[in-house]
Structure 1
Amino acid sequence: MRADEATLARRTALPLSGAWREFWRHPSPWLIGATLLTAVVARLLTGEWRLGDALLPLGMLAVFPFVEWVVHVCVLHWRPRSIAGLRLDPLLARKHREHHADPRDVPLVFIPWQVLLWLLPALLAVAALAFPRLGLGLTFFVTISAIGLGYEWTHYLVHSDYRPRTRLYRAVWRNHRLHHYKNEHYWFTVTTAGTADRVLRTYPDPGSVPTSPTAKNLHQSAGSNAAGSAQ
């Protein structure tokens, strides 16, 4: 981790404005951003505000670190397997393995646009069908879209050359960098400074954890990883 921080320090710092411009050069922020804008307009036109419209976003924000942890562990780190002769290896898992192999490849930082093409309509269906009134469903949709855009921005920024300047962002930056460059079996949260990791016991003292030889080659054994590096 120290070597990674030293490398970052030697690079020319990327200004936040430059990071913001680069962020919008990729399809995922546009897809989520357009969805968020549409959802906000629809929610404002619907009206019928109630207490639940204030409580629901607060509840979603409270549980999101744990949702993020579960998705990271169970979906993104999915180990390819065959069931009844059918190989199960979702696009999200494949792209995430590529992301670990090259954490500085910017397009791999974002949620694949192919996934968003079905995920966003699926979330809209949940908003329309799973709530007792349309207004509350749209509140859910606005909140989940905003969380998604915030996730994409935070994840991109952590992997960019923008240097941490605040204590909170440095904690988030360090947590995710440990996951990529120290050991892929810990530090699964991305947008928070290890909130769910602390509760779920995947936030060890970095000094007590060995540097993993497979952090850039998920699901490979240390021996096969070493052999592949020697070739």
Structure 2
Amino acid sequence: MRPASAFGSSTGSSSSSSKLRDQEQHVPRTLPDVMRVFLAHPSAAVPTAAICGLCALRLQQPLTAADPLVAAAVVLLWLVQEWAAHKYLLHSDMDWLGKTIHRQHHETPYFHISLDPPGLILSVMAAAALLFGLLFQWGPLSLTATAAYYSAGLLYEWLHYVVHTHWVPPQGWLRSVRRHHMLHHCRNEDYWLSFTAPAVDAWFGTLPSSASSVPLTAMARKGHSATASGSSSSSSSSRAGLASVAAAGDARDVREEAVAVTAGAAAAPR
């Protein structure tokens, strides 16, 4: 959830605005560029290599009926953990480093290269490997569980990176993930907290009936302001880019996206 590029200020000098425009120009706009940038980053390459290694080790022994059950349980654990960490750590009432970094992520122009640093990725991977190793006594199922956890984490890392690029998925689940996360950034950061599976918000009461039913927050306004400052075509370009995600949605999707985007852009300082 932390952008790899430098954080920008929405109220900085002309040199800051120029820096933001330069950063935005390097954000991928096509799927091939999206994949090229992602796969070249250590935060993608390291988990991918680890998953391949774990699968190779696990397949040296016969799979059992417990393997898919363990994998499914770990994925479910990831989905709950993803929501809980977002709500209770990154948007907590406590002032700590993780919250500060995440707040900067929200106040950075929406379109940016957002990949977690390799050090954080390696720390989480090591903790997961230790946890599942102890839980399954370093047996074959520990490999299955760890590979499933790494896979869920890699999917999350890719999704969060993709939805902050200029590339707009044509339709389907990936487009709904993008729309869901945009509402989290553009309307109210207390809602739309899940990521890999947007429906998880419905489980925990953080999926509003509509975008207009929750207030536009100060953090959302700052994000709109930073996006407008970083856009070479001012707020009209950023508004069009954000609104484009709703083009293939149904009428309700379009209305909700319009509430999130146009209200935030209008509220952003000029």
TM-score for both structures, normalised by structure 2: 0.66
Superposed CA deviations along residues 15-46 of structure 1, whole A, max 9, x for unmatched, are: 2111101112322112211221221222222x
Counterpart check, 1:148 vs 2:153: yes
Q: Which runs of 4+ in 1 moved over 6 A?
A: none
1:128 corresponds to which of 124, 133, 138: 133
The secondary structure found in structure 2 opposite 1:110 is coil
| Whole-angstrom distance in 2 between the partners of 1:123 and 1:20 | 26
| Whole-angstrom distance in 1 between the partners of 2:121 and 2:174 | 27
Q: Provide structure 1 residue ranges, at least 5 long, that are not aligned to the other structure.
A: 1-10, 82-88, 219-228
Partner amino acid, structure 2, of 1:93: K
Q: Provide structure 2 residue ranges, at least 5 long, that are not aligned to the other structure.
A: 1-24, 224-267
Partner amino acid, structure 2, of 1:191: T
Aligned counterpart, 2:188? 183
The secondary structure found in structure 2 opposite 1:120 is helix
Contact 2:75 2:149 survives alignment (8 Å): no
The secondary structure found in structure 1 opposite 2:111 is coil
Counterpart check, 1:105 vs 2:120: no
| Whole-angstrom distance in 2 between the partners of 1:111 and 1:196 | 22
| Whole-angstrom distance in 2 between the partners of 1:34 and 1:152 | 15
Aligned counterpart, 1:94? 100
Contact 1:68 1:189 survives alignment (8 Å): yes
TM-score for both structures, normalised by structure 1: 0.77
Aligned counterpart, 1:222? none
Instruction: Report the RMSD for the aligned CA atoms in angstroms.
Output: 2.5
Contact 1:15 1:162 survives alignment (8 Å): yes
The secondary structure found in structure 1 opposite 2:167 is coil
143-152 or 53-62, larger mean C-alpha shift: 53-62
Contact 2:43 2:121 survives alignment (8 Å): yes
Flag the 1:115–1:36 CA change in 2: closer, same or farther, 3 A: same
Aligned counterpart, 2:201? 197
Q: CA deviation at 1:111?
A: 2.2
Partner amino acid, structure 2, of 1:50: T
Give the number of equivalent residue pairs.
Answer: 198
Counterparts of 1:53-68 in structure 2 under 5 Å?
53-68=67-82
Counterparts of 1:1-231 in structure 2 under 5 Å?
14-45=29-60, 47-81=61-95, 89-90=96-97, 92-102=98-108, 103-106=110-113, 109-132=114-137, 134-192=139-197, 194-204=198-208, 205-215=210-220
